[in-house]
Structures are given as C-alpha cells and as structure tokens.
C-alpha cells in the first residue's frame, strides 16, 4: 500500500472500561460504559477533550540516511577535533534540514511578534519528523561515549530544541553510551521541539550478533521474556547508566506526542532486531494496560505512528502497528516496500529556502560540510559532515496517522476481568 496525501477522517473516541465494586464480597467487574457514572458536565468535558486529542494528525517524514553505515566506528584514526563537539554539529545539521523544511511548509510570520514565526492555523496538527539510521552517532571502535559526554549532548539538544518551532520531532539513532555497569547501551533520543521541549531517552533491548562491539566492553542486552510476554513491570527495572548523572535508560520505546493544536498520538520506535520480536508493540500494550489499570477514565490517544531505525534490516509486516511505518536504514531502497517509503519532490521555493539556510549554516570552505540537492528534487546531500559519513536527507510524502488498533484496547480490558 502506498502512502497518501489525503487527510484522514476524524477519529472516533475510544471507549474505556471502568472496574466497579457493587458488592465488597464479590470480585470486581468491568463496567462496559464508565461514563454513565460521571456527572453530565464532566462527561461533556471528556467528550471535548477526546475530540481535541483525536484530531487527525499528518506527518511529513525526513530520512537522514548515512551513505556509509555505523558512523565512525570503523575508522582506524579518529578525525581531528573534539568528538562530542563534532557530534553536536552533525545533530545541528540534521535539525537545520528538518526545521527549514518545517517552517517553509507549516509556519508563517506572527503578526503579534515582529520577526517571529508561528504554526499556521490549518497546520497545527501537522508534524515534521526526522529519523536517522541506527548507529549514526557511533564513535570510534575504542571510544564509546562516557556518561559525561552523553550529558553534554543531551544538554545541547535540549537548548537547541527550545529555539525550534513546535511540531518538529527528531528521532536520533543511535549513541553508544558506556554506563557505570561497564556495558555499552545502544541509546536513542526522541525529541519534541518547542519552548518546553520533551526528550525521551531509551535503549535498544535486543543486541544482534552483527552489532558493533567496542573494545573491552560488551553490549547491553536488556530483553527479558517475563517483562515483555507477561507484562510484568517488576521484572524490568530501568537500567541505571550513571549514579552521578542519574541517567536511567527505560525499556519503553513509546512516547506520547502532542501537537500545537492539542492532538496527541503514540510514537512507537523499534530498533533493528527489537522489531523482529515486536518490542514496540509490546511496549505499547504495556503502556495502555497500565493506563487503563491505574486510571480507567484517563483519556488515551487514539492515533499511533510506528518508526523502525536499523542497519540492514528488513521490516516485518506482522510486527508493524498500523498501515504505515517509516523505515530509516542505509539499505532502505534495497528491500522496503512502497508502503514504507515514498519520496516526494520539493517545490522551487522549498529547495531555495533549504539551500539558503545551509548557505548561512555552513562555513564557505571546501573542506567543511557542503549541502546540495543531488540528482533530483527529493534528496539533499550533505558532504563532509563534522561527524560520520556523507548524509542524504530524503523528503518523504506526508501521510495521516492510523487509528490505534482495537486489539490493544481489548487486551487491556481483558486484563481487568476477574480470573
């Protein structure tokens, strides 16, 4: 199935069950309509909140594709310059491409604040999302990032995100973080930009035999069947990366994203081999079940988006949530089906604005990064980036988010039923 630019139909609210106790000597039963016990005024407020939350969301995707895999892991000699600073410049390069495209398509001048921008009224539920390939920020084979290094990177990303327009999502994969446990954690950073940015950090759960292994350090392998198959949160405490920084790397690769217009959706991210055993699907089921169990009347988003970041990995349709999934992989064109990846041509104005932004962003030096549209109107190539290999930014056709599959709701309700 190919992507579509059609606006999806308005979503219907999800009905949630509420456990009630009619007799203290009887087991709890599940009431099929919790709203009937809510005062009419509160029920109307819930209806308005549901309608706002479930407004249709459209996503414009950008694939930040490395033309050689695994960052700088295979380099024998590290390039000159501070490693962390070079990573930050490449993160800023990705943000520059995504933000310039975003403001061209979704923003306008703010008449109340001279020189400022705002999201267009009819674009308040449009998201621009950039996703990089797995291992894009992997450092030289004997120099994983320390927690001090990672702290600096997160602080920079947070400050950068505050100065970017909202409705922009960056999924930066992935960083090799050496924890206090002596293991290297394949770490992903999910960023929602705006004045109060939201940053979710999580780690790949299942290591693959072919994953890069740093000299003297094993790679963290966090999978436990008890947690994912039996939904037992007690069996999977967050991994503590650093006592000093208080970093914990949760196993939950599900993030709730909120637009300027008030719409919300679940953002699911699978990392390579995690996809083969349905980690994102299991995380989503756990998230919904916890919400329903702890607060049955809580309002839960009814839209979902699925992303796969990997390094030479084939998507599995059976593990995909919804009709569409964005796939970021150096080999994406070799095995992706049309349902996963369709590029779109940019307009002359969009290309000119992106070229102008990079002209100001980069120093006019042949040895420094250079940006140019190469061969077609859908692909921007950045050569000689500060960190890693040449980058290709592929601009993908927009699509409307899918509705949350009913099976997740059914499973959550079934867990509330008495044994």
- Averages of pLDDT over each 10 residues, the chain, 419 residues: 38 33 37 56 77 93 88 80 91 94 95 93 97 94 91 94 97 92 91 95 86 87 54 48 62 90 96 90 87 71 93 86 87 56 85 85 66 81 87 91 83 66
Q: How many CB atoms lie within 10 A of CB 177?
A: 25
E strands within 102-233? 107-109, 117-119, 126-132, 168-178, 184-192, 198-203
303-309/18-20 β-pairing:
unpaired
Q: How far apart are CA 146 and CA 247, in angstroms?
A: 12
Cα separations (Å) of 388 from 137, 151, 263?
7, 20, 36
pLDDT score of 383: 87
User: Whole-angstrom Cα distance, residue 214 to residue 221?
Assistant: 14
- Let me know how long the chain is: 419
Mean per-residue pLDDT over the chain, rounded: 80
The pTM assigned to this predicted structure is 0.85
3-state secondary structure string across 265-325: EEEEEEECHHHHCCHHHHHHHHHHHHHHHHCCCCCCCCEEEEEEECCCCCCCHHHCCCCCE
Output the CA torsion 159→164→167→169 (10° steps).
-60
The DSSP output letter for 389 is: S
Count helices and strands in the chain by DSSP H and E runs: 9, 20
Exposure class string for 344-380: b at 16+ Cβ within 10 A, else e:
eebeeebbebbeebbeebbeeeeeebbbeeeeeebbb
Q: Using alpha carbons, list the distances in angstroms from residue 357 to 99, 100, 158.
A: 10, 7, 21
Task: Kindly state the DSSP code that residue 234 receives in the 8-state scheme.
Answer: G
Q: In the numeric block, which tokens belong to residue 263?
A: 């719409």
What are 127's two structure tokens? 């998201």
Quote the CA–CA distance of 270 and 272 in Å, as a whole number: 6
The Cα 135–Cα 143 span in angstroms is 14
Angle at 258 between CA 137 and CA 267, to 5 degrees: 50
List phi, psi (to 5°) of 189.
-120, 120
The whole-angstrom distance between residue 232's C-alpha and the CA centroid of its chain comes to 24
Q: 3-state class of 337 per DSSP? A: coil
State residue 332's pLDDT score: 75
Largest CA distance in the chain: 79
CA distance 97 to 112: 27
User: Distance between CA 299 and CA 327 in Å, rounded?
Assistant: 29
Q: What is the DSSP letter of 396?
A: B
Q: CB within 8 A of 258, min separation 6: which ones?
A: 192, 264
């Amino acid at each position: 199935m190919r992507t579509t630019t059609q606006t999806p139909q308005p979503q219907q609210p999800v009905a949630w069950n509420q456990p009630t106790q009619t007799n203290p000597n009887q087991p709890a039963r599940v009431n099929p309509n919790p709203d009937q016990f809510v005062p009419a005024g509160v029920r109307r407020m819930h209806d308005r909140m549901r309608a706002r939350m479930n407004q249709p969301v459209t996503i414009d995707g950008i694939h930040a594709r490395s033309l050689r895999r695994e960052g700088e892991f295979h380099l024998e000699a590290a390039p000159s310059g501070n490693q962390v600073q070079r990573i930050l410049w490449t993160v800023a390069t990705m943000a520059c491409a995504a933000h310039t495209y975003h403001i061209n398509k979704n923003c306008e001048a703010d008449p109340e604040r001279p020189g400022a921008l705002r999201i267009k009224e009819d674009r308040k539920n449009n998201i621009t999302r950039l996703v990089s390939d797995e291992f894009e920020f992997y450092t030289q084979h004997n120099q994983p990032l320390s927690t001090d290094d990672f702290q600096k990177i997160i602080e920079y990303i947070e400050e950068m995100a505050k100065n970017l327009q909202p409705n922009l999502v960056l999924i930066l994969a992935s960083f090799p973080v050496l924890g206090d446990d002596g293991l290297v954690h394949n770490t992903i950073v999910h960023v929602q930009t705006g004045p109060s940015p939201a940053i979710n950090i999580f780690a790949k759960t299942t290591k693959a035999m072919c994953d890069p292994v740093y000299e003297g350090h094993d790679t963290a392998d966090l999978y436990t069947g008890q947690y994912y198959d039996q939904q037992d949160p007690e069996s999977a405490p967050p991994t503590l990366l650093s006592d000093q920084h208080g970093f914990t790397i949760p196993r939950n690769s599900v993030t709730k994203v909120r637009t300027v217009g008030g719409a919300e959706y679940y953002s699911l991210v699978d990392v390579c081999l995690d996809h083969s055993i349905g980690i994102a699907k299991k995380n989503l089921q756990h998230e919904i079940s916890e919400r329903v169990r702890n607060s049955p009347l809580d309002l839960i988003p009814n839209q979902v988006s699925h992303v796969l970041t990997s390094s030479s990995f084939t998507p599995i349709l059976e593990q995909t949530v919804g009709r569409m999934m964005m796939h970021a992989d150096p080999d994406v064109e070799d095995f992706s089906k049309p349902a996963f990846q369709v590029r779109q041509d940019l307009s002359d104005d969009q290309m000119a604005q992106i070229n102008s932004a990079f002209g100001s962003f980069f120093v006019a030096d042949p040895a420094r990064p250079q940006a140019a549209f190469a061969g077609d109107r859908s692909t921007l190539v950045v050569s000689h980036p500060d960190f890693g290999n040449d980058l290709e930014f592929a601009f993908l056709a927009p699509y409307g988010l899918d509705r949350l599959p009913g099976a997740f709701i059914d499973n959550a309700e079934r867990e509330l039923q008495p044994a």
